[in-house]
Each structure stands twice: as structure tokens, then as C-alpha cells.
């Protein structure tokens, strides 16, 4: 299957006004793609549209809630009306919940699935019907947590497991009928975006991403690579890849690591009352924010991911992945030890 180069494409992108989606929109437009932008926040969306158009790009803003099939049908119709076609559809919109599963309400859990799972299902099926005509790429944003669950974000993990199952099944069905569509699942590690600010939290303190943490540009690079090159799936970040492998080959040991390190590793000392906003139900923030202000080290690139996309240096990718796992485990272990020493001192 041959896909068009980015500068010849029309790309539809959900969740376009924040984090990974925002970086991808700007990067794609900068490389010459026409971008169809969708998100719930009308003001932020149209400011991004104007920014791209004023800088010489081509952008079309179409406000939509991905949980509404009719909203996404309108997005597809607008893309066809404005540009005559679209070549790539990226299902990126998502939200999380921090808290023990026994504490999270069914209403909140169902709302998370409306966005993370049903929003992606809506977008995928609408995109597939259109892409069957002229071909193209469907790109779904899963997570490292599509493979390996962690505590305190159980419902998010469940939704990303569901995303993986749906994407794999859809890929097989499209391949069986020889539809000219490349279907890619991208699995990011922890990324420095406003993810935790948008999430709903039941914690008594502010949540934080556990290391290693990567820049959103690493995911945007992977998305645009998949838009132009058929690839089944992409892990972004060696830490995420090796966590997935640890969960597969040493599940009990990985469970113990999660229980001892990951629960406290997702908590800060900052009271929950200082949370600026959340957007499980409504987009309460109109900023165009790429980063989440992670205070630790943020990896600006992923050598593992770059290597994994080129088979002739796959062996180097494995070596880098092992190094990423060692780094992640050592950072988590040291954080846990420091926390226990602090508790002892108090």
C-alpha cells in the first residue's frame, strides 16, 4: 500500500486543541498538509485555525464532541466539502480519571468510555467508509496502558485495552476485504501534556505522570510517520515498550512493582483543591497548551521509537528499550525508597 506524502494530504484530527493533538496539527500544517481540526472548545479551535491559516497553512475548524456520531459525520462532510477528500483520520481525543475503581462513579466511568472508546469507534467507522474509496490511513491513539494496566487509572486502562481490541479487529476485517486502508495503533508512554489537568481526580492530592516522560513531539512524529508509511503499531518511548514486555513475560513481578511504586508514584504533595480544571464532561479551559509542565526530566525524542520504525536497526531499538526499562524501574524504585525514608523521618 502506498500513502501520499504529508504535503499532499488532508488530515482530520480529533482532540486538536491540546497536547498531542495540538502539536500534531501544527506540525502537519508546517509540513504542508491541509488539516481539519476538531475539538469541543469552539474558541480554542478557531484560534488554532486562524493561527495556521495566518502562517500560510490551510486549516478548517469543525467543533465536535467525538462521542456524538452525528458530530463526527458533520466533520467528515465538512472535510469533503472544503477539500474534496481526506487522506488520514487521526482519533486522538481522550481523557482520564485518577482514583481507585471502587471510588469512581459509574456515571464518570461511562463518560470516559464515551470519549475514549465510543468516540474512537465513531471516528474509525466514519473514516473507513470514506477511505475505502481512494485509500488512506486510519490512526488510533491507544497507550502503553493498552497492553499493561496500572493502578489508580483503571478505567482509562480498560478503555485503552478496548481501543486495542477494536483497532485490531477492524484492521483484520478491512484487510480481509482488501480495503486500501492502513490501520495503525500508536501506544504512547507517559507524555508531558495537560493530560492530568484535563482528567477527573478522586485523589486527595494532585496527580502526576510517572517517569519516564516524553515530549508530545515524539508522538506527533509517530503519527505523521504512520500517515505516510503503512505500519501496524508504534510504541512511543522505550519505557512504555519495556513495561508492556514486563507485563507480558513477568506479570506477577510487574504487579508487585505497580503496587509498591506506581500508586504513590502518581501522587504529588500538592493538595487536590488547587486543581485548575477538568474536562471529563465539558471543555473548561480554552488555552492552546502543548505541554503539561512536568517538573522532572522530559525526553525530547525517543531513539527507541525512531529505531523501531526502521527494521535494519531493530537490534539497536531492543537495546535502547532495555535501557529505558532499567531507567524507569530505577527511577521508580528510588522515588519509592525516598518516599518511605521521608515517612520514617516524620
**Nearest Cα to Cα of residue 26 among 1, 2, 7, 49:** 49
**Nearest Cα to Cα of residue 301 among 227, 238, 241, 209:** 238
Q: Which of 98, 156, 195, 214 is catalytic?
A: 156
Sign of CA dihedral 200, 220, 77, 34: positive
Q: Which residues pair with 136 in a beta bridge?
A: 181
Q: How far is CA 285 from CA 3, 42, 77, 199, in A?
A: 36, 11, 27, 12
**Nearest Cα to Cα of residue 94 among 195, 211, 186, 218:** 195
**Nearest Cα to Cα of residue 165 among 188, 146, 143, 190:** 146
Q: Which residues pair with 16 in a beta bridge?
A: none
Polymer length in residues for the chain: 346
Task: Give 295's contacts (C-beta < 8 A, 6+ positions apart).
Answer: none
Question: Is 156 one of the catalytic residues?
Answer: yes
**Nearest Cα to Cα of residue 88 among 160, 3, 22:** 3
- Enumerate the active-site residues: 156
Amino acid at each position: 500500500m502506498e500513502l501520499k506524502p504529508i504535503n499532499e494530504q488532508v488530515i482530520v484530527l480529533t482532540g486538536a486543541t491540546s497536547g498531542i493533538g495540538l502539536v500534531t496539527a501544527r506540525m502537519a500544517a508546517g509540513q504542508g498538509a491541509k488539516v481539519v481540526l476538531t475539538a469541543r472548545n469552539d474558541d480554542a479551535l478557531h484560534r488554532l485555525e486562524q493561527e495556521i491559516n495566518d502562517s500560510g497553512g490551510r486549516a478548517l475548524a469543525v467543533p465536535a464532541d467525538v462521542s456524538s456520531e452525528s458530530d463526527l459525520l458533520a466533520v467528515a462532510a465538512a472535510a469533503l466539502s472544503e477539500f474534496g477528500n481526506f487522506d488520514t483520520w487521526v482519533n486522538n481525543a481522550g481523557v482520564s480519571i485518577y482514583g481507585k475503581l471502587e471510588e469512581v462513579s459509574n456515571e464518570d466511568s461511562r463518560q470516559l468510555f464515551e470519549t475514549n472508546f465510543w468516540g474512537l469507534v465513531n471516528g474509525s467507522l466514519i473514516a473507513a467508509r470514506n477511505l475505502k474509496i481512494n485509500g488512506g490511513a486510519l490512526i488510533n491513539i491507544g497507550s502503553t496502558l493498552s497492553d499493561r494496566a496500572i493502578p489508580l487509572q483503571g478505567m482509562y486502562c480498560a478503555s485503552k485495552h478496548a481501543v486495542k481490541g477494536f483497532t485490531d479487529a477492524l484492521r483484520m476485517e478491512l484487510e480481509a476485504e482488501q480495503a486500501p486502508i492502513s490501520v495503525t495503533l500508536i501506544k504512547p508512554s507517559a507524555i508531558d501534556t495537560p493530560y492530568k489537568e484535563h482528567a477527573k481526580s478522586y485523589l486527595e492530592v494532585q496527580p502526576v505522570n510517572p517517569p519516564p516522560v516524553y515530549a508530545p513531539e515524539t508522538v506527533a512524529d509517530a503519527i505523521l510517520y504512520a500517515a505516510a508509511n503503512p505500519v501496524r503499531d508504534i510504541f512511543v518511548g522505550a519505557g512504555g515498550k519495556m513495561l508492556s514486555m514486563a507485563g507480558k513475560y513477568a506479570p506477577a513481578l510487574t504487579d508487585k512493582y505497580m503496587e509498591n511504586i506506581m500508586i504513590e508514584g502518581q501522587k504529588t504533595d500538592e493538595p487536590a483543591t488547587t486543581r485548575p480544571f477538568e474536562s471529563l464532561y465539558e471543555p473548561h479551559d480554552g488555552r492552546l497548551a502543548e505541554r503539561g509542565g512536568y517538573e522532572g526530566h522530559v525526553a525530547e525524542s525517543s531513539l527507541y521509537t525512531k529505531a523501531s520504525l526502521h527494521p535494519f536497526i531493530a537490534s539497536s531499538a531492543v537495546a535502547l528499550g532495555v535501557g529505558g526499562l532499567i531507567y524507569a524501574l530505577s527511577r521508580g524504585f528510588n522515588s519509592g525508597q525516598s518516599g518511605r525514608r521521608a515517612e520514617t523521618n516524620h
